[in-house]
A and B are shown apart, each in its own frame.
Chain A
Amino acid sequence: MLIYGVANNTYHKNENIGWSVPNYWDAVALALIVAIFAVLGWTAMQMATPYNVGQAIPISLSPRSLPVYAMRTVLRMFIALFCSLIFTFVFGAVAAKNKKAERIIIPLIDVLQSIPVLSFLSISVAGFILLFRGSLLGPECAAIFAIFTSQVWNMTLSFYQSVKSVPKDLREVTAIYQLSSWQKFWRLEVPYAMPGLLWNMMMSMSGSWFFVVASEAISVANQHINLPGIGSYIAVAIAHADKTAIYYAIGAMLIVILLYDQLLFRPLVQWSEKFKFDEVLDERISRSWVVNLFQRTRVLRQVSVLFYLLFDKFVNINYLLKRHSSFFQHHLRGRQDPGADKKKNLKYFFVKWKIIPLLGDLIVFALFVMLLFYLWHFLVDFVTWHDVARTFVLGSVTALRVLVLIFLCSLIWVPVGVWIGFRPRLTEFIQPIIQFLAAFPANLVFPIVALWIVKYKLDVNIWTSPLMVLGTQWYILFNVIAGASAIPEEVRLVSKNLGVKGFVKWRRLILPAIMPFFVTGAITAAGGAWNASILAEAINWGNIKLNAVGLGAYITHYTRVGNFPHVILGTAVMCLFVLVINRILWRPLYNLAIERFKVN
């Protein structure tokens, strides 16, 4: 996508000029590109080194090893992000276009995005290690998979929603001029979804730091696998109670975040400006020095023309043109060759008898039954009813924590968010800061809290709780700001003229406008808190081990000792809690917000 953009920005000005002499900026840009690729390539090669379970991977706490660790961590994150993007394009698009698929995919993603990813880590690790026996690729894939599952859902949902809300007239344009689905996808839907998708990718990158720290240092069945990376570095530092190392890790993270922000996201954000519909030309369009650099180069800009042409070929792949998909072209029937006609009939047969949809239903149903059966088979020998009852009690404790914390956070962040959202300049300034705060993995603060708890003899059950929302509270703030700044200026002015103030203003103007945004944020925050409970309810610092009462601590404990039936039980119960709370609390609240609090 980047390629397409860079090319698009510039191709007209130089397309017909011959190849020119490289200039100074070409050298700089080329050096930049080569450096990035060399580092990425070298790092990627490290991923596939031989490895056997039980073998210890030494993690050095020397700051000199941090650059390499940082590279490996970032590479994992970007591989996961790339997979997320592919997943998003496929499933987001299918869900937006096919009613039947939509009915399966969207609820499924809804479920998947709220289940505790971390507790699946131990299960998936076992699978991947089996798959890539004797290679480090197994644990690598498991870690990437965990990061992927933390990144992908909001991206897919955002893309799906964008594709659903493509303006009707643009859709009609592609229909009347008969673009194929493929062309429509690249010419209309992807560009239209781009700003939102990019925003969500950035959020996903931020959010996934938390999982990086958790998924690189895997403790399964008394085995410790430490994949070289910042996450493992932090885990080892915690185990050794090494404060300086923690500071180094934080420093390294800061630099990494800054780097990928500058080298990748800034240019992308600047590029995505052109996909926005706003008529007003914004003076404050974010500038990026990387883009500036490339715009000064001579030869490289011409290379970008090449990329543009490639993209053009890609969009217009001959076979994917509409006239080749006979199914859609009934009115050309007379001109078609008989083979195509036969193919059409076959397809028609399937559609007519609803065989494809029926098959889909059957497959989903069968999978579901198999899963239940498998689960049951797995659990029944190892788990007693007593255990089940216990997990439910523990689940209730954790649920109480989550709800109380979300409530407390809302009390703080809703007024703050509204206050900020009403001030556009402040919003502009503050959003990147919040983004960094969201990226900052809360797990790094855990040791400090552990120290305090021990030092001041605090109650573990209460004081570990705030850790659960440390990382996810920002979603509430984010969304409230977005909601508040979406209130049109005129509406605010009108209410000012009418003298609407204080409580009435909140009830009539502010709450209605931010309610849907707030609920979205709260759902995300609550989901994150459940996830975090797995780490936050059981924190360590050197020899200090603090365990709170809760389902998260339960899952962590059984993961460490390698008792899978209990891990699965705990996970299943946690999923159940999350889903039930979503159904009986958040969903109705959301519907209410949409229905009742509509701004006129």
Chain B
Amino acid sequence: MEKKPLIVVENVNKSFKKSDRQDHLVLNELNLSLYSGEIVALLGKSGSGKSTLLRIIGGLVKPTSGRVLHHDQELIGPAPGLAMVFQSFALMPWITVLQNVELGLEAQGVPKQERRNRALKAIDIVGLDGFESAYPKELSGGMRQRVGLARALVVDPEILLMDEPFSALDVLTADNLRGDLIDLWQSENTNIKNIVIVTHNIEEAVLLADRIIVFGESPKNIRAELKVDVAHPRNEDDAKFRKLVDHIYTLMTMPDSETIDFGYKIIDIGYRLPDVQASEITGFMDMMTEYKGAKVDLPELADEFTMGVDDLFPIIEALQILRFVHVSHGDIQLSQAGKLFADADILKRKKVFASHLIKHVPLARHIRRVLDERHGQRASEERFLRELEDYLSEDAAERVLETVIDWGRYAEVFAYDYNNGQLSLENPD
């Protein structure tokens, strides 16, 4: 069956200015079509460009090149028929729930009485009856997101764009809202033909979507595309469900082919180290000891340690960089060095960590070398920050330096004085 797509994303590139000289390519030659009758999940790590793509579809961000077709017409700005729900809810705190919901109708010039009636109906649909005259400040997170949803529904959209709509909510509330979203989708109450939902939660994607697009950083943004042929309501303990989740874990932890070396990650000096503290690494390794070097299924591990993908993946990436673990096919396993580290006492651990840090993290190696060569064996953090800014944005450079300093202090590879921002080889105390 050849259906006509509602939205076609055609050869879209998007880059942001990083510095005067450099551009940061976020989306690279991206192609994607959205069809009637499907929920599409954009699933990927944070910073991979999912929100950017969603905003390009919504007409909020212009692509650097390429175009988006909406019913065969090129999209130039926000179009009628598209509505968006935001992670931060994005409600105006100074007006009531009712007025927030009415906003889209005001823009269309709907007369006051009709505006009110339609808004009240939308509020009713999302189950916020009786809260019309409340201010957003008075509502809980879940209720606020319901307002966000009502505001989208009231303009009777054809396509609903959702940017991590449930990730600012607690687990139970999020579950609740997901259920209600599916009910809404299956009911005849709306004219919504397509929902695009951005998420970094694998279970959420499998729970909601008919099609999952696994997203990664450019140059290859669309890593994989999967169909989910499971009827709603879906059961998380279902075998088919689990298998899909497993499969996606595998896809998402697969290192990029260029940086792969026997299952490890090779990085350069400007690599964006994950935001992970040494204490988190040691804590994680402590927990890993109970598996005694056996292969462990990642989803199972996440469950066992009650960690979300957002917490888990950065730590795993750090461990891969330090070569303490192997990751393949959605399984994780301690390496030789990893086992050594896990079983060692504190002093020994620091030694192992130090040697791996110097060997496998070029930035740490570089800092150490500079300090060794320096006369007073000290240097200011500013100096390294400037160097890093050749590769990274100011923000990212600061974070990466902070991370490497934390690791270096833990391993006693170098010392850092908070008061004057100096790195040195002195023994810290």
**A→B interface (CB under 8 Å):** 8, 12-13, 167, 169-170, 172-180, 183, 187-188, 191, 194, 274-277, 279, 281, 309, 312, 315-316, 318, 321-323, 328, 330-331, 498, 500, 504, 508, 600
Q: Across the interface, which residues of B come within 8 angstroms of A170, CB to CB?
A: 90, 92
Q: What residue in chain A is nearest B75 (Cβ atoms)?
A: A331
CB pair B76 A330 closer than 8 Å: yes
Q: Across the interface, which residues of B come within 8 angstroms of A175, CB to CB?
A: 59-60, 77-78
Q: Which of B132-140, B169-177, B247-255 binds A?
A: B132-140
Q: What residue in chain A is nearest B87 (Cβ atoms)?
A: A169
Q: Across the interface, which residues of B come within 8 angstroms of A331, CB to CB?
A: 70, 73-77, 79
CB pair A173 B90 closer than 8 Å: yes
Distance in angstroms between the alpha carbons of A178 and B70 in the assembled complex: 16
Q: Across the interface, which residues of B come within 8 angstroms of A498, CB to CB?
A: 418-419
Cβ of B94 within 8 Å of any chain A Cβ, yes or no, is yes
Q: For residues 82 through 117 of chain B, which have their beta carbon under 8 Å from a beta carbon of chain A?
A: 82-84, 86, 88, 90, 92-96, 98, 103-104, 106-109, 112
Query: What is the CB-to-nearest-CB distance from B392 to chain A, in angstroms, rounded to a whole number?
Result: 16
Distance in angstroms between the alpha carbons of A180 and B107 in the assembled complex: 7
Distance in angstroms between the alpha carbons of A187 and B91 in the assembled complex: 12
**Total CB contacts across the A-B interface at under 8 A:** 105
Cβ of B210 within 8 Å of any chain A Cβ, yes or no, is no
Q: What residue in chain B is nearest A321 (Cβ atoms)?
A: B109
CB pair B109 A281 closer than 8 Å: no
Interface size on B, residues (CB 8 A): 42
CB pair B419 A500 closer than 8 Å: yes
Distance in angstroms between the alpha carbons of A316 and B135 in the assembled complex: 21
Main secondary structure on A side of the interface with B: helix
Cβ of B275 within 8 Å of any chain A Cβ, yes or no, is no
Q: Across the interface, which residues of B come within 8 angstroms of A600, CB to CB?
A: 398
Instruction: Report which of B77, B133, B155 forms a contact with A12, defined as CB distance below 8 A.
Output: B133
Distance in angstroms between the alpha carbons of A183 and B103 in the assembled complex: 9
Instruction: Report which of A12, A276, A321, A500 forms a contact with B107, defined as CB distance below 8 A.
Output: A321
Instruction: Report which of A176, A180, A188, A191 forms a contact with B82, defined as CB distance below 8 A.
Output: A176
Query: What is the CB-to-nearest-CB distance from B59 to chain A, in angstroms, rounded to a whole number?
Result: 8
Instruction: Report which of A13, A276, A316, A323 forms a contact with B106, defined as CB distance below 8 A.
Output: A316
Query: What is the CB-to-nearest-CB distance from B78 to chain A, in angstroms, rounded to a whole number?
Result: 5
Q: Across the interface, which residues of B come within 8 angstroms of A276, CB to CB?
A: 93
CB pair B106 A176 closer than 8 Å: no
- For A176, A180, A498, the residue with the greatest tally of chain B CB atoms inside 10 Å of its CB is A176
Q: What residue in chain A is nearest B421 (Cβ atoms)?
A: A508
Distance in angstroms between the alpha carbons of A180 and B104 in the assembled complex: 11
CB pair A178 B109 closer than 8 Å: no
Q: Across the interface, which residues of A come within 8 angstroms of B66, CB to CB?
A: none
Q: Across the interface, which residues of A come within 8 angstroms of B329, CB to CB?
A: none
Q: A176-B82, A177-B83, A177-B104 are in contact. Are A328 and B77 (CB under 8 A)?
A: yes
Q: Across the interface, which residues of A come within 8 angstroms of B73, CB to CB?
A: 331
Q: What residue in chain A is nearest B161 (Cβ atoms)?
A: A176
CB pair A172 B137 closer than 8 Å: no
CB pair A177 B107 closer than 8 Å: yes
In the complex, besides A178-B104, A323-B109, 18 extra interface pairs with C-beta distance below 8 angstroms are: A172-B84, A173-B86, A173-B90, A173-B92, A176-B60, A177-B107, A177-B155, A178-B107, A187-B95, A187-B106, A274-B93, A315-B106, A318-B109, A321-B107, A321-B108, A322-B107, A328-B77, A331-B77
Q: What residue in chain A is nearest B111 (Cβ atoms)?
A: A316
Distance in angstroms between the alpha carbons of A318 and B419 in the assembled complex: 60
Q: Across the interface, which residues of B come within 8 angstroms of A169, CB to CB?
A: 86, 88, 90
Identify the 4 closest CB pairs spanning chains A and B, nearest first.
A12-B133, A177-B104, A169-B90, A191-B94
CB pair A274 B135 closer than 8 Å: yes
Q: What residue in chain A is nearest B381 (Cβ atoms)?
A: A600
Cβ of B121 within 8 Å of any chain A Cβ, yes or no, is no
CB pair A179 B106 closer than 8 Å: yes
CB pair A191 B92 closer than 8 Å: yes
CB pair B103 A187 closer than 8 Å: yes
Q: A12-B133, A498-B418, A500-B419 are in contact. Are A316 and B90 (CB under 8 A)?
A: no
Q: A183-B106, A279-B137 are in contact. Are A176 and B83 (CB under 8 A)?
A: yes
In the complex, per-residue mask of B49-80: 1 if CB is within 8 Å of any chain A CB, else 0 = 00000010011100000000010011111111
Instruction: Report which of A188, A309, A504 forms a contact with B92, defined as CB distance below 8 A.
Output: A188
Distance in angstroms between the alpha carbons of A312 and B115 in the assembled complex: 12
Distance in angstroms between the alpha carbons of A315 and B94 in the assembled complex: 15
